[in-house]
Structure 1
Amino acid sequence: MSYLTPAAAQALLTELTCDAQLAVDPREITRSRRFEPHDHVLLGDIVVRRFRHGGRWKYIEQDIRQAGHALARFGLDLHDVVPVQFYGAGTSAGLRPERTDWRGAIGSYLSDLAPGQSTAPASLAWTASLWSSTRSLAGTFPLRLLSHADGQWLLPRAYVELLDRWREREEDLTARARICKDCGAQGPSGYEWRTLEGTGYVTRCPACSAAGLPHYADQLAGRTYKWAKQSAHRAAEYLCRLCGARRAYVWDHCHQPTHQYVRGPLCTSCNTTEGRGPEAAFLQRDGAARYLLHCPGCRRDRSLPDHHYAAVAGAHLAQTERRCRLCTAPPTVTPVPGADLTRGPLRYTLTCSRHPWETPWTASVPADQARAIVTDLVEAVLADDSAR
């Protein structure tokens, strides 16, 4: 079986559909799908599965070839058209359409091109812009197939039927992805029960995730990430140390250059939250700072990883800064991008919900003060641990 990287799969799909009558968007293959409700990509009504292989997302070459050939053969009679009524962001108080509501999505695209003009072309120039639009839906370019006559928008009948089939298959895949693999219970919509394992995401309810899996009890305490990767220990043998609800997938570790110690096994959702999400949001989680201190280096240095400093100092500003002496509302504190302790103070923009008409103001925290604030937080967490 031959696997393709997303980039290679996109290139192959581009080659196979270059002369297709249906305008295909090969970028659908390489779009980030971290929070998608299932592991499939739909190109029109054709379903292609993504797999994890060698620690990376891949496609099976034969699947891409079959999809490309099917799309290339798809016939469109541009004279056999049907009227379609669109609605979307421009006509529904700014609400975005549901994921599979293709009429709402196209209406939203039209409204974005010319607000308030989604029912008829605003000009010949605007009509021409439809043909050059890169807005895609179901791996196709719907605006390029639009025409307008007698006050109505028209689409080829075969394309309308294709989008209806896409909607049905998308909704079916989403519904199936909500079903617990082990007990068959139906989970909430979205991403909550999905855990990355083996060749892709698996849906398990909290009870099935916990069944037979122990909680992590510092089995790798003091070990480095390099040691853990080379050992026989697998993170998937444990529950996630942070949420405790899903099977772990990776060994999370401190990224400080002189530390690199394993902190514990995390599921993909919690690992992403700590490493790529807003640091302020992560530190608001119960026990987040305590979790970071499972790194022996951070405990020894009475510190946290550098990328959390701006969030800790910002939380301190939210407690101490006010718009005026009489204001009791804590401000919203936003770090200025590019903050770096090695290049001077951490800078922030502040706004107050009690004074929304006022111009935002700025504040800064010197590097030494930021380090002291972090040290105080660490000492408080360690003192709480000792008191338990």
Structure 2
Amino acid sequence: MSERVMPGRTDGLITLVAADALWVGLTADSAVPTASGAFASPARAQAGHVLLGSHVVATVRASSGQWSVPEVEVRRAAAELNAVGMDRQDLVRIGPFRRAPRRESNEETPLPWRRRITEELQELSDPERAARREARRPYPLAGIDWRHILVEQTRNGTQRTWWMPRAVVRLLDAAEHTETQWVQAARTRQASTAATEPPSHPRQPSDTGSRQKTNPGTPTPALRPYNKELEGQLYSVLSRKPGTSRRVAGWACAVCRTAPATVLDHCHEHGYVRAPVCQSCNTQERPDHLYSNDIRVANRYTRLFHTDTDDWLRHWHRCPGCRARTTLPLPHLAAWTAHIACRSLRPTHRAPRGRKPCGALRVSWTGSQNAPRSCLLTVVVDFCPSGEHRVLARVPYREAVERFRAWLTETAPAVAAAAGPDRLDGLPAQSRPVIADTSGEDLELF
């Protein structure tokens, strides 16, 4: 493939046309599908950079006026993307939601990828808007062909929801963060240059025989690991402080520790901040469907309560209320009860490779954790071939708590040892009522 782009090179630079062909060729076997046209937008080139995956490639304007990019950066971006694994069954909902997350007025995100995808999908139902967008020929999102991996689901026969593989969501979140940091650094350099330049000596035009180059400057600063800086703080107070969103963006996700944090995860039962997390991890702990007292227990709980149990239990117990009571918020406890405590009760059916669990688990509850004597969890199987809504068990809240504590001691002894009422002082005598989360549809109670 490199032979085809060699003629466009000049001191390690290749033209945008050659870079586009190189990008598509190098990523042809990538698990994440890519598309041509990432370099086609003149506006992106004039902005000084092109985004490929989560990698920023600086654009360079030669003396001839032609835009180019360093070939080595294109190859580096392709290698990073090719290293991304993708499970098409591990999906994260990306919209639409009733309302977008609130952002501070002084924040600017060059790549609001969720909003852009939502707008493009909504335009499909409007022929005039779709025609105008087709005329503009929008550039691919970070060089990724997201349309080939988008999954559309219909709920209640009418409402459409959009989903994408978790690996791509994390990739686009990282891309959004990287580009935001790059643009902010570029603006800072421009402001610094303008401030230090003497007003009596206006900037002279550069030599027409030299190459004008846009340099990304210093690399994006490394994300800070989260070290309990927000422990014990109430989300209702912290979320109202100016600059909180910008501060959160400087941390690495406290769960996966690789992606940039985008939100403050908090316990809706006690109101305490847990930690800054990325959008993918924040979504991972949520079930497919969530109502006021009824949740669908998705297959992703295998990861939460099996493969990555220790990490998630430590994260949930960052809430002082949950840690002191050695329990989980009611929806998490309900999911654990259905997925772990009632596992042996779930029927199975014959499958080509052995037997597979029947239907889909769902758990509902009456009452709340504030009235534990009257709170009852009901675990059922939906879509069972032998009869839908088959009841597996009815578990009192207090019994579910005791089962969880015994399981926690066996599964994560270090987490259990750090829990209990003698570990913390100054907590409220009673649990706070469940706090409604208005940040998005079907995201309450977690």
TM bracket, shorter-chain basis: 0.3 to 0.5
Higher relative contact order (CA 8 A, sep 6+): 2
TM-score by length of 1: 0.40
